[in-house]
Chains A and B, each alone.
Chain A
Amino acid sequence: MTETATSSRLAQNILLFARTLRAAGLPIGPGKVIDAVEAVKAAGIGTRDDFYWTLHAVFVQRREQREIFDQAFHIFWKNPQFLKRMMSMLLPQLRYEQPDEDRQEMAMRLAEALQGDRAADSMAEGEADEEELEIDAAMTFSEREILQSMDFEKMTTAELAASKKAIAALKLPIMEVPTRRFAADSRGRRVDMRATLRASLRSAGAIPLKLKSPKLRHPPLVILCDISGSMSRYSRMALHFVHAITNDRDRVHTFLFGTRLTNITRDLRQRDVDLALDRVAAHVKDWSGGTRIGHCLHDFNTKWSRRVLGQGAIVLLISDGLDREGVEGLEEEMVRLQKSCRRLIWLNPLLRYEAYRPQSQGAKAMIRHVDDFRPIHNLASMQDLADALRQAAMRSDRPASQGTIGGKRAA
């Protein structure tokens, strides 16, 4: 085999590796691949460690990408003989394998990325004979359809994983409200005097009017998520949802509550969803226990509402409204909460049942004081929520809250 053939083989493998990383969520463009090839050429392939850090230097641009890179590297360039063979001008043997069920979830994501790539590449290059083929049929189109309407509670682990992925791809539309800042806009309604005067000096004769209009910005979002026993299946999915939102826009604050209130905003800033949820799990002590909604809302109102509800925040309350304690004080806290935010949206997974009417005392007390009431038990309902947020009404057109069971849809 010739020199050029080897280096092109190396380049191809780096390209494959880059694609794997991209599929796993790292922002890597073609430019990076060229950089990587050049870097590897410049650094030479000495030891495995050198090779690792060379690629690391090129591909990793943020602290939170390190874990994914590390795992990807070890899976992709798995064969210990690889470098030796590479140097002796042999083809690298790439092995893609399905990780065991008990492996970390992150590896799962990576495996999917690997397999997805594999399928495409082998078809394109027709070199499948050299490598083992193992294509997972999960997440084909029709299956995705079924997932859309499947209840989180009834899903198998594999299905849950698939919907987690779908959720991560779910972007919350950014509902925007006008700010008091202005930006140049040729169709604006106000005259931008400064720009006009500057323009007047450039042109002779008439002064061209420059216009401006208010800038738009989305209001802060505060999410209160119930993690008690009755919510356990949903709250995990909800957390994936929340993580996706947190990383999609700024000014998102998240609190979890079961028997007590925990602020997990900082934990969720971790870009990698699995790491972020690990941190949350380490931080939160009352997973799947009882619920004390009234107590937790009281905590939120007194300790946090002034700090996070400024500037007209929208509050998402994710809960089934089943309270272990009595409803003592719950209603007052709901009133206060609703009054301190732009819009209070209650997401209740129990709404999946057609005939659901708030029966528990807690739910009855809560429903009187929310602006909107929606299901959140499957992907379709999350999409609905996204649509609702896009058109989220302003404070002024709050509906009469009594019995507004809006957005309800057959699951």
Chain B
Amino acid sequence: MAALPADIDQAQALLKAGNYVADRSLATAVFLALKLGRPLFLEGEAGVGKTEIAKVLAETLSRNLVRLQCYEGLDVAAAVYEWNYARQMIEIRLAEAAHEESKERIAADIFSERFLIKRPLLQALEPDPKGPPVLLIDELDRTDEPFEAFLLELLSDFQVTIPEIGVVKAAAKPIVVITSNRTREIHDALKRRCFYYWVDYPDAERELAILRAKVPGAGMDLSREVVAFVQKLRQRDLFKLPGVAETIDWTDALVQLDQVALTTPAIDSSLGALLKYQDDIARIRGSEAAAILEQVRTDLAAEAAKRLLQH
């Protein structure tokens, strides 16, 4: 069981060890969440690496990752626990066959832990030899308000009440990471209990570092061009700006296409990996892409010249 980071530098190093290039502000939020045992609430556009943070934490701290993917209509039966009805029915039948008369005894028997199917939230409260797990509650905005309200109890006391059994309390607090794409506002009451962090698009330098870490197969020149291109694209008026995940996918695609540098035809044919809306693709494809590429090349050449002069 790896030790929790003792300061922000260590938190940053921890994320880096998991191949996650984080800036100082994110490392601070992660450190505080770990140190004070409060949930970390990550909000941001799709594809900026929110879910990844939880995965990296689980990996570098060598904990288990318990993931709860949220969706509309998520309820206690799918999120916390459910009774194994089939087994319960068989048990009742068996008890009847054995002429077991006492209703209480049957009840106590079939509503015991043996017949309980544990769902992610309950699993996260269980003692774990590897240490308390990382609980990832992914895309919380997809579920509805009643579930949010249910989470309030869980996140403040780390306990769940099962009427037939009683209160299940966490042996040790799990590390909780909540993500949201902000397709609706999460209630303040929930946010209040967490450390909130808005995950933004990375700047060029950090994006390059991420790309180098994630797609080592891509050459330095290609990576530079890709990052510069994507950064320029994010300044455009697009319906959906490309996230880091898209940058990585696109670079992967370009590598598969055996490109060592960006060219207009290569961009046009692989733009679908970067932009996901037809309007956006139609706007960028062709002359617009060529213009951006031209600009990117000029900028990179100027940068290279500057670097050369400094040496």
Contacts and interface: CB of A to CB of B under 8 A. Distances in A.
Contact of B239 (A202, A301, A308, A311): A301
A193 B92 contact: no
A307 B181 CA distance: 8
A301 B240 CA distance: 10
A332 B283 CA distance: 12
A58 B139 CA distance: 43
Interface string A196-226: 0100111000000000000000001000000
Given A179-B144, A202-B103, A197 B88 contact: yes
From B142, B183, B184, B185, residue with most partner A Cβ within 10 Å: B184
Contacts of A200: 92
Nearest to A306: B183
Contact of B85 (A194, A306, A336): A194
Contact of B103 (A201, A301, A302, A306): A201
Tier of interface size on chain B = 20 to 34
A63 interface: no
A179 B72 contact: yes
Nearest to B89: A197
Q: Is the interface of A mostly helix, strand, loop or mixed?
A: helix
Interface residues of A, number: 21
Nearest to B239: A302
Contacts of B258: none
Interface in B162-213: 181-185
Nearest to B104: A201
B85 A307 contact: no
A146 B57 CA distance: 68
A106 B77 CA distance: 49
Contacts of B246: none
A194 B83 contact: yes
From A201, A220, A301, A332, residue with most partner B Cβ within 10 Å: A201
From B145, B183, B185, B237, residue with most partner A Cβ within 10 Å: B183
A180 B73 contact: yes
A188 interface: no
Contacts of A310: 141-142, 183-184
A179 B237 contact: no
B252 interface: no
Contacts of B77: 194
Contacts of A306: 181-183
Given A307-B185, A336-B239, A197 B279 contact: no
B85 A197 contact: yes
B106 interface: yes
A139 to B, nearest CB: 38
Contacts of B279: 332, 336
A181 interface: yes
B266 interface: no
A179 B73 contact: yes
Interface in B104-124: 106-107, 110
B95 to A, nearest CB: 10
A208 B279 CA distance: 56
Interface of B: 71-73, 75, 77, 83, 85, 88-89, 92, 103, 106-107, 110, 141-142, 144-146, 181-185, 237, 239, 279
Give me the 10 closest cross-chain CB pairs, A-B, nearest first: A180-B73, A310-B183, A193-B85, A201-B107, A310-B184, A201-B103, A181-B73, A197-B88, A307-B182, A306-B183
15 contacts: A180-B72, A181-B73, A182-B75, A193-B85, A197-B85, A201-B103, A201-B106, A201-B107, A302-B237, A306-B181, A307-B182, A308-B184, A311-B72, A311-B183, A336-B239
Interface of A: 179-182, 193-194, 197, 200-202, 220, 250, 301-302, 306-308, 310-311, 332, 336
